[in-house]
Amino acid sequence: MFFNHISLVLFDSLVPSKDIFITACNKFFFLITNTSSGLTASDTFFKEFIEDNKATIYKICRAYANDPEELKDFVQEVTIQLWRSHEKFENRSKLSTWVYRVTLNVCLTLSKKRSRKVDTVSLLSTDYHDTNDETEKEQIASLYKAIKRLKESERAIVLLYLDDKSYKEIAEILGITVTNVGARVNRVKNQLREIIKSGA
């Protein structure tokens, strides 16, 4: 027992790619147990979870991406990071709070990669709108255009505000105080209003 413990401690500290090793072992175990669905309970849960939250993920990614190709990369990266950390999720916060936090953090770090010209029109044209209402589409496009004029950190605030999140939830997601949220939401709302008014 003692030596087992020692070997586990050594294994944990010495093998940097132990996660890959464990995944490989799980896959091997899965193969020999011959389960037909090809999914573990965790995989199924994760797929359902992504399905439930895809609109949130898409909306946030679209607010940070500059073109459809970048949008695809952002959504993919968010999915990878959610997959990597979903087992670390501790029920200290709500699942939705966790999704917002991971998605926003990934977008905030990825959007520094490239500073290309923003192509809002093609971003929205490749979307999945089931409406033919042109006015509605234009309204959505102009809202996104206005959001993209904001600084990246301000975009995070406005996205959460538009999603009807309480100040407490916004504070929890962004890791700032509730008072700070109040001040920043008001400032960003005014900025957004001015941008839309000016039609820029």
- Residue 136 CA: distances (Å) to CA of 139, 143, 147, 194, 195: 5, 11, 17, 20, 19
Please pick, from the candidates 94, 168, 187, 193, the single residue that binds other proteins as defined by CB under 8 A: 193
Contact 12/41 with Cβ under 8 angstroms?
no
Name the segment binding other proteins (CB under 8 A); options: 3-11, 27-35, 75-83, 176-184. Answer: 75-83
Residues between 106 and 165 that touch other proteins (CB under 8 A)? 106, 108-110, 112-113, 127-131, 136, 139-140, 143, 152, 162-164
Q: Phi-psi category of 117—alpha, beta or left, where left has phi over 0 and alpha has psi -120 to 50?
A: beta
Number of residues located near other proteins, criterion CB under 8 A: 52
**173-193 as b/e: b if 16+ CB within 10 A:** bbeeeeeebeebbeebeebbe
Mask 154-183, x = binds other proteins (CB under 8 A)?
--------xxx----------x--------
- H or E segment at 174? helix 167-174
Question: Where along the sequence are the contacts to other proteins (CB under 8 A)?
Answer: 13-14, 16-17, 19, 46-47, 50-51, 54-55, 57-59, 73, 75-77, 79-81, 83, 85, 88-89, 98, 101-102, 105-106, 108-110, 112-113, 127-131, 136, 139-140, 143, 152, 162-164, 175, 189, 192-193
